[in-house]
Amino acid sequence: MAQTDLVFSCRYQRGKARLGTIRTAHGEFETPVFMPVGTQATVKSVLPHDVWETGSKIILSNAYHLYLRPGTGAVKAAGGLHRFMNWKGSTLTDSGGFQVMSLGSMVKVTDEGASFRSHIDGSEVFFSPEVSVKAQVDIGADIIMCFDQCVPYPVSKEVARKAMVRTTLWAERAKSVDVPRSQALFGIVQGSVWSDLRKESAISLSRLDFPGYAIGGLAVGEPKEDFYEIVRSTVDYLPEDKPRYLMGVGHPLDLVEGSLNGVDMFDCVLPTRNARHGRAFTFAGGLNIRNRKFASDYGPLEEGCDCLTCREFTRAYVRHLLVAGETLAATLLTIHNLRFFQRLMERIRESIREGTEERLRQSILEVYPFREG
């Protein structure tokens, strides 16, 4: 059995949907959970205290970016990621597999690892399963990820199979790295849009007895129907007593569908990225706050929202900040959007508990029918 202090408890289950808790060395949080993205040891535009006040108990950072800058040695010397960024909650680091894929032809991938040049200074970099895990150990996140080979969409089944097999090989090698009990190493299921590849990947990784499992390589352009079908079928082959993490997914409808099909953890840049572009999420739909009609609207971004922005500022003021190019606009919209996502997760958990899942699904489908980039 994997030696880790991470504890996952499933408290209630209805069909595939389930409610639980995850406890790490830095606290406990309820699942299903949404994790704000703090790629470079910061959630853009906001202070750690602001993030905590939105109800967020765990955030995600990225080993690839922190490895390149400031360097994992600098983070370790500061006392680890939590002290470095002054975050009191739990943390998770992605291994860098998705970022390596995004380099396209600029990266060379073999069974040994991935070779590429830094996007910062052009220096040569080599990432292997061992390098990635050791970097994350130094960073000190509570949950760390195996290095995986993520493929784009569309891709041939032959290429997807090769990447899936390589991801399993890398997971086996990642297990050889000494990981402290305070950290939990998760395996990542790959296989693109082929259910049989996903099944093979999930079963192979389950035999390695990781403390948790992620479904990677989705939300990269595949049809919505394929996306949901892969999530539904893959969950069936993952251990029931381990947390399941759907990587890089955060559209409101996707959070509902994923949660109702047994996913426990999600992350996405959607709330923060949309905030920087002047968009606010509400339960009545998305708002483009730059719109002229909000210039004389002195109500909150959303009636009934309890976030700092909605309690103390108006749509008219936030629009003024946007038009004037003031950075406070991004801060206020980010606070609101992060709180919206946590309120959505609260509603999802409540619907699972009360058996009102279908009502919630329809209400979100009406205002957020398509996945946004």
Distance of alpha carbon 183 from alpha carbon 319, whole angstroms: 43
Q: Rounded distance, CA 281 to CA 343, Å?
A: 11
Which residues face 187 on adjacent strands?
A: 213
Residue of 94, 142, 254, 264 marked active site: 94
Nearest to 95 by CA among 56, 44, 61, 122: 61
What single-letter DSSP state applies at residue 262? T
Judge whether 267 counts as a catalytic residue.
yes
Q: Which two tokens stand for residue 171?
A: 């997971």
209 is catalytic: no
CB 58 within 8 A of CB 82: no
Q: Is 54 helix (H, G, I), strand (E, B) or coil?
A: coil
- Report the DSSP beta bridge partners of residue 29: 22
Judge whether 142 and 24 are in contact, CB under 8 Å. yes
Q: What is the distance of C-alpha 268 from the center of its chain?
A: 5
CA R_g for the chain? 20
Q: Are strands 244-246 and 265-268 parallel, antiparallel or unpaired?
A: parallel
Token readout for 306 is 């309890």
Q: Which amino acid is at 114?
A: A
Closest CA to 220 of 102, 59, 322: 102
Catalytic residue among 50, 138, 267, 297: 267
What 3-state class would DSSP assign to 23? Answer: strand
Say how far apart CA 127 and CA 99 lie, in whole Å: 11
Please report how the helices 328-354 and 357-367 are oriented relative to each other, as an axis angle in degrees rounded to 10.
150
Q: Return all residues near 299 (Cβ < 8 A) that are at least 6 apart.
A: 314, 315
Rounded to 5°, the CA angle 76-79-80 comes to 60
- Residues with catalytic annotation? 94, 267
